[in-house]
Amino acid sequence: MASLSNSGWRDVCDKFKNAQTLSCEESLKDPVNDPYRSKYKARELIREIHCTLKSLEACEGEEESGGDGREQRASEAFVDGQRDELFTDGLCGESPPGMLTAKLAAVEFYLGVNHAETEELSAGHEHLMNCVMLLERCRVSSENVSLSIHVRNELGIMWTRRDEAEKALQFLETAEFIYQRYMKEDGSPPMDKIEYFTTEEKLLTDQERTEKFEFIYTYTKYYLAQVYKIVGETERAATYCHNTLQRLLPLKQFNRMEWALNAATLSQYYISKGQFMEGRHCLSAASVILGLAEVPSEAAAQESEAASEQREKNRMQSAHISRCWIKYCLNLLEDAKKLLEDNTGELDTDRQDELKRERTLGEEEEVKSRKSALLFGSEDTFDSIASLEEKVPCLFPLDFSEARAVFLVGQNHVKEAKEYFQMEGHVTDHVEILQDHSALFRTLAFFEEDLEARCKMHKRRIDMLEPVCNELNAQYYLMIRRQLMFELAEIYNEMMDLKMIRANTQADTQSLDKHSIKKINHLCSSAVKYFHMFLDSLRSPDGKFPEKMEEDVLRPALVARFRMARLYSKLICSLPSAQLENLNKALDNYTCITQYCEEHPEAAAAVETELELSKEMVELLPFKINRLKVAMVANN
Amino acid sequence: TQLVCSNDSNSIKVFVRVRPLTQGTGLTTDGDNGLCLKVTSPNTIRLLSKPEPRTFTYDHVADMDTSQDAVFSSVAKNIVESCMNGYNGTIFAYGQTGSGKTFTMLGPSELDNFTDELRGVIPRSFEYLFFLINREAERSGQSKSFLCKCSFIEIYNEQIYDLLDTASASLFVRENIKKGVFVEGAVEKFVNSAAEAYQVLSMGWRNRRVASTSMNRESSRSHAVFSMSLESKESVNEVVNIRTSQLNLVDLAGSERQKDTHTEGSRLKEASSINRSLMCLGQVIMALVDVSNGKNRHICYRDSKLTFLLRDSLGGNAKTYIIANVHPGSRCFGETLSTLHFAQRAKLIKNKAVINEDTHGNVK
């Protein structure tokens, strides 16, 4: 600053420092009825700096006349897309006019942010655009690259505030381009925007510069993640979330607990998209990073409340991550099941063979290429993440032993999650974990060929769910209980079927023994009991069944009726009168379905198959009932 | 056991109340006499938006001249009655600061007199509840008795404070298999009459004001939850029948302060102001995961304390009324529109009873 005296420059620096303090610290204490008082004061100071700089520019302007006319483009028509020119044309950043321009641009930037923060968006926009235009006079260089990215981040924020995500995207993508090209072509630690108005002795070190610069670019990634989400490019958004997390990893200061939780949450995005490799990677990274988080010792926790809170929080996050692992295992098993089942829900062995063959044929290569795309890890964590990954399968299990390996990982996490989410204090979470555990057993049972062993798995499910269902307060846990009642009914139903199949294969040689009959009937009536409970839970306070059922319970309620009808007709009884009674009940339930769908035609779509079968049964059952009646009369 | 459930599709009802224009409320609208809305029928409101005015429909719309008693009759009477029968009930007041939430719920702020014509929904609910309790106890002879407990908490910055015990540190929400969700360690005061309940309420309310000045908590940024739990005991032929229910009366933080993902839609979470915190990234990812419905997934972030505490009231098996308060001044247009939008969305809030049903191959 040749034309500014030392004391003059010091004055500018002081003003800047004051403005910063006012804007960042003082403003937090501003009263509610005058919320922007400090921000307005800061604005005045920056304006004064602006005047000083302007007068300097006027002097220098005589030497070098005007820019190249780019700034004359109307700001409204501006397209932030002339990216290559940013690196090839314009003033040299180091030169005095280049520096002065950067400083003027910085002032415009601060004014822009200040206006945006005080809800004067359009004035803010104008200043930020002035900043962009000024910077366009210069080539991108270490003197202005940081500011160039920063101002585009702010414009990205501003345009999303105005609901114009496409425009925001343009600026943010340019910011990304500038960073990448700068790093490729120059890469030296660039000046930070706070350095434009500091005295020599307070300039940042190279390391500080690099750190700040990397952070600004991390913000770019982070904003891009959000804008891609807004414009509907979820896949890209996920990648950018991933990027943001990855960029934080090598830094010394980041909150490991938060990081781990974010990575675990991201895993849930991947598994819901069926990308188990990425899901597993996120979860492994989450587990490893959480393991590195600093946790106060037990002794420290007894001494201070803050330490004990911190310890407790760590336990909770760890349990959350375990729950994400459970979902990973569950979804992997369930998706495999969907691939492998035939139209009766049984294992399709042809399909199984085919998939096994496919797997040996080069699918692994595809897996490798995908794996190189997105990876977490810094030097010290890379190996531990990879070794954790190896312990958990990520390909669809195709037979029982593979399924069991996935199941066991899930079950281990069930155990860990339950240690924190205990029933006392965390009822909802605890029950959700139990439900997942039950679901793990359900999918494992699909892969089990031995019927007896399968039954035992279902029995385990009943043992874990039945006591909870009966103990939960019906008033406060209605929704959860409904789910449990339905699930229990389904399990009993399933077990009854399995016993029936076994009994039928034996029945070729011998007739059903008393014990089997008793067992089957018990399972049958337990299933009926829980379906009944479920339906009763839909009744209104005065005991009436709703005339029109809500969408979310419509299908379950009609399916419950359908199952009950079938169960009643399966009950084995020697007394014809009892049999007659059961058949009548079955008919009642079938009729219920057909009638409901007649009165509410829109319901038919939800239970298409069931409705069709019910209609048939409503026609057929009366004949059966009549025949039974005739036989009874004849026998009397 | 009798299963408690109200399955009517209107489990959440919405009542919109328009406050009158007055001076000196501290709102930026003071002195502005332009109106931005018009009540067109007992359940519709027309917002004079441009280019076309828009009409919103609710369960009830109360115009400026509606009396406190009329509000009570249409909003709270029914809920208090169902509480007597063992059902949970919740009444929320929602709206911009200055739109009349506290007036609707409590009445004029300087109110000490319990019989004032301007007293709000809460004191009226006390009166009616104890009127019903006394009538019921009398009718049944000695066989039926009632026990009523009150607690009063404030949620500020996701921390829970006990307004009946200002000395206590912040509290935690926990769950019990029999009791449901509760605030651990919150003081519960037994009350025998409407007057006693009112005393508890005004003590808590005073504490709220003291806290807001001395501890720098802003009351327009905090939610206040007054809960009454009612237990009825009936002995018939040596068999004791116990029924419990809870009535929650909630004064929500000013809606203009709740600029979160849900009300703000597409605004970016900014990192510069949050000091390198990643919490916001969590919210971004959550939004991503939420898109993929239907899959079994776990979200690591808890609901807000308020929604967790009132989970039963936001869908499920409770009777819930939301009173959306709006200011008719044309300068409040933006906030009023957002309140009306919220009130419409509120009707859609439901806890889905997702059934873990195997959809394949069960038909045999």
Contact: A269, B350; criterion CB under 8 Å:
no
Write the CA distances from B216 to B25, B71, B210, integer angstroms. 21, 33, 9
Strand ranges in chain B using DSSP code E only, listed in sequence order: 12-18, 37-41, 44-47, 54-57, 60-62, 88-95, 144-156, 159-162, 172-176, 180-184, 189-190, 223-236, 239-251, 318-326
- For B29-43, B114-128, B194-208, which range has the lowest pLDDT when averaged over its residues? B29-43
The verdict on a CB contact (< 8 Å) between A550 and B356 is no
Give pLDDT, residue B140.
86
CB contact under 8 A, B6 and A330: no
Helix (H, G, I), strand (E, B) or coil at B228: strand
The answer to whether A80 and A171 are in contact (CB under 8 A) is: yes
| Inter-chain touch B5–A540, beta carbons under 8 Å | yes
Rounded mean pLDDT of B15-31? Answer: 67
Report DSSP letters for A599-614, one per residue.
H-GGGGGGGHHHHHHH
Please list the residues that pair with B176 across neighbouring strands: B180
CB–CB contact B268 A226 (8 Å): yes
Test B179 with A610 for CB contact under 8 angstroms. Answer: no
Run of H or E including A227: helix A206-230
Q: Tell me the average pLDDT across B211-225.
A: 76
Residue of B nearest to A270 (CA): B289
Partners of B353 on chain A (C-beta within 8 Å) are 478-479, 482-483, 552-553, 556
Sign for the CA dihedral angle at A71, A76, A77, A79 comes to positive
Please tell me if residue B179 touches chain A, with a CB cutoff of 8 Å.
yes
Query: What's the average model confidence in pLDDT over B36-45?
Result: 89
- A265 is written with which tokens? 């949450």
Query: What is the Cβ-side half-sphere exposure of residue B115, based on CA atoms within 13 angstroms?
Result: 0
Which is nearest to A105 in space by CA: A83, A137, A78, A67? A137
Partners of residue A473 in chain B, C-beta under 8 Å: 177-180
Q: Which whole number is the average pLDDT over A217-242?
A: 92
Residues B243, B148 contacting (CB under 8 angstroms): no
CB atoms inside a 10 Å sphere around CB B15: 23
For residue A7, count other CB atoms closer than 10 A to its CB. 7
CB A289 within 8 A of CB A256: yes
The DSSP secondary structure of B201-216, one letter per residue, reads HHHHHHHHHHHHHHS-
Distance CA B322, CA B67 (A): 17
What is the rounded distance in angstroms from the CA atom of residue A124 to the CA atom of residue A132?
A: 13
Residue type, A152: R
Question: How big is chain B by its Cα radius of gyration, in Å?
Answer: 22
pLDDT at A59: 74
pLDDT at residue B364 greater than cutoff 50: no
pLDDT at B278: 56
Exposure string for A225-259, b = 16+ CB within 10 A, e = fewer: bbbbbbbeebeebbbbbbbbbbbbbeeeebebbbb
DSSP one-letter string for A338-404: HHHB-TTSSB-HHHHHHHHHHHHTTHHHHHHHHHHHS----TTTHHHHHHHHHTS--SPP-SHHHHH
Taking a C-beta distance cutoff of 8 angstroms, is the pair A323, A329 a contact? no
Give the span between the Cα atoms of A63 and A60, in whole angstroms. 5
Helices (H), A273-304: 276-292, 298-303
Shortest CA distance from A431: residue in chain B: B177
Angle, CA of B233, B306 and B195, to the nearest 5°: 45
Cross-chain residue pair B298–A320, CB shorter than 8 Å: yes
Query: The whole model's pTM is what?
Result: 0.86
Q: Which residues of A touch B219 (CB under 8 A)?
A: none
Contacts of B188 (CB under 8 A, 6+ apart): B149, B150, B151, B229
Neighbours of A503 (CB within 10 A): 17
**Residue B98, SS3?**
coil
Backbone CA torsion sign across A295, A299, A303, A305: positive
- Residue B361, sorted as left (phi over 0), alpha (psi -120 to 50) or beta, turns out to be left
Q: Rounded distance, CA A151 to CA A218, Å?
A: 14
Return mean pLDDT, chain A.
88
* Cβ contacts of A372 within 8 Å, gap of 6 or more: none
Over its C-alpha atoms, chain A yields an Rg (Å, rounded) of: 35
Which range, of A323-337, B54-68, B332-346, averages the lowest pLDDT? B332-346
Q: Label residue A65 by pLDDT band (50, 70, 90).
A: very low
pLDDT digits (tens, 9 = 90+) for B278-288: 556 676 777 77
B305 vs B170: CA distance, rounded Å: 12
Closest CA to A493 of A455, A535, A546: A455
d(Cα B242, Cα B240) in Å, to the nearest integer?
6
pLDDT in tens, A168-215: 999 999 999 999 999 999 889 999 988 998 887 788 899 999 989 998
The single-letter code of the amino acid at A4 is L
- Do B86 and A475 lie within an 8 Å CB cutoff? yes
Chain B residue at shortest CA distance from A476: B180
Over residues A128-146, the mean pLDDT reads 91
* Cβ–Cβ contact B11 with A under 8 A: no
Task: Please report the sign of the dihedral spanned by the C-alpha atoms of residue A368, residue A373, residue A379, residue A380.
Answer: negative
Distances (CA, A) of B104 to A91, B64, B107, B329: 65, 12, 6, 18
Of A238, A341, A613, the CB nearest to B360: A341
Tell me the residues of chain B between 216 and 245 that have a Cβ less than 8 Å away from chain A.
218, 244-245
Q: Using an 8 Å Cβ cutoff, are A129 and A75 in contact? A: yes
Confidence of residue A333 (pLDDT cuts 50, 70, 90): very high
ipTM for the assembly: 0.81
**Taking CB atoms and an 8 Å limit, are B9 and A475 in contact across chains?**
no
Contact A416, A319 (CB under 8 A): yes
Range picked from A6-15, A358-367, A598-607 for highest mean pLDDT: A598-607
- Supply the DSSP string of B250-269, one letter for each residue: EEPPPGGG--SHHHHTTPPP
**Topology classification of domain A86-254:** 1.25.40
Predicted confidence (pLDDT) at residue A238 exceeds the cutoff of 70? yes
The pLDDT tens digits for A350-368 are 999 999 988 887 666 666 6
Better-predicted residue by pLDDT, A189 or B109? A189
DSSP E strands: which ranges in B114-236? 144-156, 159-162, 172-176, 180-184, 189-190, 223-236
| DSSP track, A102-163 | HHHHHHHHHHHHHHHHTT-HHHHHHHHHHHHHHHHTB---TTTHHHHHHHHHHHHHHHHHTT
Structure tokens, A92 = 């040299």
**Rounded mean pLDDT of B327-333?**
82
Token pair 């102001």 is found at B273
Residues from chain A that touch B271, judged by Cβ atoms under 8 A, are 218-219, 222-223
Q: Which chain A residue lies closest to B218 (C-alpha atoms)?
A: A32
- Residue B108, classified by CB atoms within 10 Å of its CB into exposed (0-12), middle (13-18) or buried (19+), is middle
Q: How confident is the model at residue B29 (pLDDT cuts 50, 70, 90)?
A: very low
Q: What are B138-186's pLDDT values in tens digits?
A: 888 878 889 999 999 998 878 899 999 988 888 999 999 988 889 999 9
Location of structure tokens 């959350």:
A320
| A141 C-beta neighbours (distance < 10 Å), count | 23
How many helices and strands in chain A, by DSSP H and E?
Answer: 24, 0
